Structure 1
């Protein structure tokens, strides 16, 4: 039987992040074979993952990152089961490292197959499931590209957003951050009226009509009044039409144009836990 030293255990712990006792046990079972010990820990993670597959993973950390050129950004949500784990410094660091890697990929599938710490991202999540003892998964992956992209992460890493602007002008970075903050706080369903699904529009019109009938409005007037109420719905629920949270006397569109007369918001992504 191979002699397992404290240095061996510590090395395995540094590589995998597993606890000292788990590392020692894995090395003993592998008779000192380092690679086999890593494989044993992964198998443990697979077993834990299988046992917890039906658990809800609604806690975690949402991280947004933007490239150096400010032309692309990603938001990922690394989810776990408990708020205690989600706030853990090493868990948040893992989410940040994964987000930095995600910036190099355009879709979740390629990202999950990307190399991370000598294994794929998917394998890393299984490993960490074994280490932490909770279901760990990438619940969201969103990418945004544009002429200028900015980001915002809400305190506690519960919500993160990206916003793209039409030009890189003086003040664009602050504007993109402020609009990203707006999206985080006000949860718009679309950028503008054109982005709202037709089924949602039809549903809102029908709700308005039903309410108007209950109020006893004449049937001949209902269609026009309902369409007017739809305008209020767009104002409340589309990003560029919302009242700007830092100055409700202007819309988000007006705020952006106060930075530069030709500047517009071209897109956004919002990811929240839960």
Structure 2
């Protein structure tokens, strides 16, 4: 068997991004054949990713990518298990590669995105398995939104936890930045009332009626009170009706009209939103282990 040198281990680490001991073990197993060791590690990386697939990934990042002409763009949420890995530059680079793949490949869904080829020549899934093997956590491509527009696109990232993509027509680049930042801060549910989920509206109406009854309001007034409450709710949760965060004397609708512009649509992702996180009671685990 060929001697396993530090140079061979370093070469294998450079090719795979895996740890020193994993690389050395693979070289021993393949009797010093670097190419075979690399292939072995890539196989094991896939197995490692499969074993971790059941672990909850509720941390992570939202990243964006917009083409140079501002006509095509995307935001994507990529999840991992811990905030520590969520801040790792290798993980962030993987997320950025996936975002660009959404724009370039125009995948229909997450499965199609996984098969998309990135700038490196590897698929998104290849990169995912490699980064899992390197960082030791489950990672998932959760969701993405891709827009093509005749207008222009703007994105805003609040840290890496909130991401916004807005499609607008007219105005200037600063307007796009202001709109995206406002959406991240005010978190509207829809562009206008027509986009608000009917179930949400009905819930607001029902709650308003019950509160009015408890307050002793006459039966004849209940519907009027409920309608007033619903209209107030719609103003609060629809983008065009919200006061602009940088100047609450104007609404977003007034802001865009003042620049002869219009907002076509927007998407906002918040990392981990809607994912049920597993709560670990470490004290209980330690106590249980002490009794063994």
TM-score (structure 1 length as normaliser): 0.90
CA distance in 2, matches of 1:118, 1:247: 47
CA distance in 1, matches of 2:27, 2:188: 52
> Bigger shift: 65-74 or 216-225?
216-225
**Conserved? CA contact 1:144–1:268, under 8 Å:** no
Corresponding residue SS for 1:70: coil
CA distance in 2, matches of 1:12, 1:161: 39
- Tell me the matched-pair count: 268
Task: Give the corresponding residue for 1:188.
Answer: 188
Match of 2:140 among 137, 140, 147: 137
- 1:218-229 correspondence runs (5 A): 218-229=218-229
For the pair 1:150 / 2:154, whether they are aligned, the reply is yes
**Conserved? CA contact 2:192–2:240, under 8 Å:** yes
CA RMSD of aligned residues (A): 1.9
* Structure 1, unaligned runs of 5 or more: none
* Structure 2, unaligned runs of 5 or more: 273-292
- 1:80-95 correspondence runs (5 A): 80-95=80-95
For the pair 1:163 / 2:131, whether they are aligned, the reply is no
CA distance in 2, matches of 1:5, 1:216: 84
CA distance in 2, matches of 1:215, 1:269: 39
Task: Give the corresponding residue for 2:210.
Answer: 210
For the pair 1:121 / 2:124, whether they are aligned, the reply is yes
Corresponding residue SS for 1:104: helix
1:54-87 Cα distance to aligned partner (Å, 9 max, x none): 3221112210111111112111122111111111
Cα offset, 1:249, TM superposition: 1.1
Aligned CA distance change for structure 1 residues 123 and 270 (closer, same or farther; 3 Å): same
- 1:98-109 correspondence runs (5 A): 98-107=98-107, 108-109=110-111
Task: Give the corresponding residue for 2:23.
Answer: 23
Match of 1:271 among 265, 269, 272: 269
Corresponding residue SS for 1:115: coil
For the pair 1:75 / 2:75, whether they are aligned, the reply is yes
Task: Give the corresponding residue for 2:277.
Answer: none
Task: Give the corresponding residue for 1:40.
Answer: 40
